[in-house]
Amino acid sequence: MNNVSLPKKSRRIIPGFHLSLGYTMLYVSLLVLLPLSMIFIHTMSLSWTEFITIITDPRAVASYKISFGTALVAGIINAIFGTIIAWVLVRYPFPFKRMIDGLVDLPFALPTAVAGIALTSLYAPNGWIGQFFEFKIAFSPLGIIIALTFIGLPFVVRTVQPVLQNISAEVEEASASLGANRLQTFRKIILPELTPAILTGFSLAFARALGEYGSVVFIAGNMPMKTEITPLIIMTKLEQYDYAGATAIAVVMLVTSFVLLFMINFIQWLTNRRFIH
Amino acid sequence: MEYSIALSKPAALQEPRIIRYLLTFIALAFLAFFIVLPLVSIFITAFQKGAEVYFAAITHPDALAAIKLTLIVVAIAVPLNAIFGVMAAWVLTKFNFKGKNLLLTIVDLPFAVSPVIAGLVFILLFGSQGLFGDWLFAHNIKIVFALPGIVLATIFVTLPFVARELIPLMQAQGTSEEEASISLGASGFKTFWYVTLPNIKWGLFYGLILCNARAIGEFGAVSVVSGHIRGMTNTMPLHIEILYNEYQFSAAFAVASLMSVMAILTLVIKDIIAWKSKSV
């Protein structure tokens, strides 16, 4: 063996590794990990039975049903209409297209409280839209769904749009030349390409909707057992200085959100794998 | 390319006209109801009782205090997250190390956490019953129900914005330009300043704009830690809530219209940046 001394570690040419890693770790530890760990540390002060009693309290359970149910419906509405909007924006010409395309991001830019009071006044029984309906829209689960649809819309449109743009015309041409009609081409060729993006957009919108507070508290009416969302339960417990109760419910929400985040990453991993093949 | 000759009828690649019109109509109607109408209603309701009520609402001392507080919070939170975003993107895209994916997930974490919980964690740390509560009380330091708490909650919810914009951008750019610069003898800082920064300029602006919009408008997290002290710890969204709950609808919508103008400006600047970054 020749005694050529190879450097033990592959040397990093670009400087700043230790500085940037250290700074990043310190920042996320102090501002994300330490604060979030408080939730789990604080729950430890509860016994298992106390914890179960708090999180299975009928009012809390009713709020999970409302939060999950409305977030799910809003997510499905967004998946369908978001895909249609992305399709129209990518494929069809119409006037003011650029401006309308820009407006899709409004829910990202508009403060949720502003969206909340605007939607409430529109859909309240005497509002511009609410007055035309016999039944209540604002102050009912329907109102929550509308608010959650509003805040979730850009997620689906903005994840589907680039994928739709990248589908090459050739596969559609091939499909058509083999005798498929338009609907068959859409169902068998285009939709399978779009599905991962639609699912990712749906999960992002759903996750955001689950935790949403600002826009919902105005339009929901916040009636216990009927239109009270889970974040509001946490808020109410905090205002009564019931820290243990608030953290127990927060654990339920956090675990759900993490499972969702994991699923989103899994979908994206599946999608990437498909493209590499 | 033989296909294209066989396929001289583009009709096979397009939906029937009626379907196209129907889909366009559905998309535009949906956007009209969910985006345009709420936006229009804000401005109309704001001016319903006349310009006098409008200007009285936005120049009320409590409103001015809320605007000032919001601007202070943004001025602290956004630059801190911008520096963090650049640092995090640098370490996550220019180097390979163990636990990289874990760190990436941690950076994304605040997106998955409900704003109310984001506020709650700071109460658990710095509130009277919190981990540091007794110590802070003994030293007469106020964090929650005061400016530091509001800043911390805002930093938490807006933490991923700049990093999330920069990471894919810097990943795509790779490391060859930096390596060339270093091998030609430039210092690390010079390389960053003259090579990396010009490359990520537009992505950085884009992240800043999004971070800024969210920081201005954050409601849930700030609501938990603010304590709602009028003229003291109310940001603009909290001020809107108070006015709304007191049935001062015109005043609430007047302040809301100010925030909507900021949101529209955000969209316009974002569009300009998207256009600039494409043309570069």
Residue A150 has phi, psi (to 5 degrees) of -60, -50
DSSP-derived secondary structure for A200-257: HHHHHHHHHHHH--HHHHHHH---TTTT--HHHHHHHHHHTT-HHHHHHHHHHHHHHH
Our CA-based measurement puts residue B83 at a distance from the nearest CA of chain A, in whole angstroms, of 10
Q: Quick one: which of A63, A64, A58, A53 has its CA closest to A244?
A: A53
- From the list A85, A109, A241, the residue facing B31 with the nearest CB is A85
Kindly identify which residue of chain A lies nearest to residue B160, measuring between CA atoms. A28
CB B237 within 8 A of CB B217: yes
B15 CB neighbour count, 10 Å cutoff:
18
B256:A114 CB<8 A = yes
> How many beta-carbon contacts under 8 Å exist across A and B?
290
Which residues does A144 contact at the CB level (< 8 Å), separation at least 6? A66, A70, A216, A219, A220, A227, A229
Which chain B residues contact residue A250 at CB under 8 A?
Answer: 114, 116-117, 120
What would you measure as the largest C-alpha separation in chain A, in angstroms? 90
Is A24 in contact with B270 (Cβ distance < 8 A)? no
**Chain B residue closest to A119 (CA)?**
B38
**Three-state secondary structure string covering A142-201:** HHHHHHHHHHHHHHHHHHHHHHHHHCCHHHHHHHHHCCCCHHHHHHHHHHHHHHHHHHHH
Which residues of chain A does B27 touch, with a Cβ-Cβ cutoff of 8 Å? Answer: 81, 84-85, 87-89
Of A20, A119, A177, the CB nearest to B3: A177
Answer whether A254 sits within 8 Å of B192, measured CB to CB: no
- Residues in chain B, pLDDT under 70: 1-12, 279-280
Rounded to two decimals, the ipTM of the complex is 0.89
Using DSSP, state whether B127 is helix, strand or coil: coil
Helices (H), chain B: 2-6, 17-31, 37-46, 50-59, 61-94, 100-112, 115-126, 133-138, 147-158, 160-173, 176-183, 188-191, 197-217, 220-226, 236-245, 249-279
What does B241-269 look like in DSSP terms, one character per residue? HHHHHTT-HHHHHHHHHHHHHHHHHHHHH
Give the best residue of A25, A32, A63 to mutate against chain B (max B CB count within 10 A). Answer: A32
pLDDT in 10s for each residue of chain A, 277 residues: 445 544 445 557 788 899 999 999 999 999 999 999 999 888 888 899 999 999 999 999 999 999 999 999 999 999 999 999 999 999 999 999 989 999 999 999 999 999 999 999 999 999 999 999 989 999 999 999 999 999 999 999 999 999 999 887 888 888 888 888 888 888 888 898 898 899 989 988 998 999 999 999 999 989 999 999 999 999 999 989 899 899 999 999 999 888 887 887 787 777 766 655 4
Number of CB atoms found within 10 A of residue B124's CB: 26
Q: How far is B30 from chain A (nearest CA, A)?
A: 8
Q: In chain B, whose CA is at the least distance from the CA of A107?
A: B35
Q: A114–B34: do the CB atoms touch at under 8 Å?
A: no
Read off the DSSP letter of residue B234.
Answer: -
**pLDDT for the residue numbered A60:** 95
Which residue does chain B place closest to A36, by CA atoms? Answer: B121
Segment A72-120, tens digit of pLDDT: 999 999 999 999 999 999 999 999 998 999 999 999 999 999 999 999 9
Closest residue of chain A to B157, computed from CA coordinates: A32
Out of A35, A94, A176, closest to residue B24 by CB: A94
- Residue A105: which of B4, B113, B267 has the nearest Cβ? B267
Among B40, B114, B189, the strongest candidate for a mutation testing the A interface, having the largest count of A CBs within 10 A, is: B114
Residues in CB range of B244: below 8 A, 6 or more apart: A117, A218, B252
How close, in Å, is residue B184 to chain A by CA atoms?
12
SS3 state of residue A133? coil
Q: What is the rounded CA–CA span in Å between residue B214 and residue A26?
A: 23
Residues A148, A151, A152: CA angle, nearest 5 degrees:
80
- Measured between beta carbons, the chain B residues lying within 8 angstroms of A265 are 105
CB A139 within 8 A of CB A217: no
- Cα–Cα distance, A229 to A231 (Å, whole number): 6
Q: Which of B167, B103, B91, B104 is nearest to A19 (CA)?
A: B91
Cβ A88 vs Cβ A164: under 8 Å: no
With an 8 Å Cβ cutoff, are A88 and B237 in contact? no
Residue A275: what pLDDT? 55
Q: Are B257 and B266 in contact (CB under 8 A)?
A: no
Its pTM stands at 0.90
DSSP letter at B19 equals: H
Nearest to A201 by CA among A115, A91, A76, A88: A76
**Which DSSP category does B47 fall into?**
T
Cα A145 to its chain centre, rounded Å, is: 14
Minimum Cα–Cα distance from A208: chain B residue: B112
pLDDT of residue B174: 87
> Is the separation of the CB atoms in A176 and B80 below 8 Å?
no
Among B36, B116, B260, most A C-beta atoms within 10 A, so best to mutate, is B116
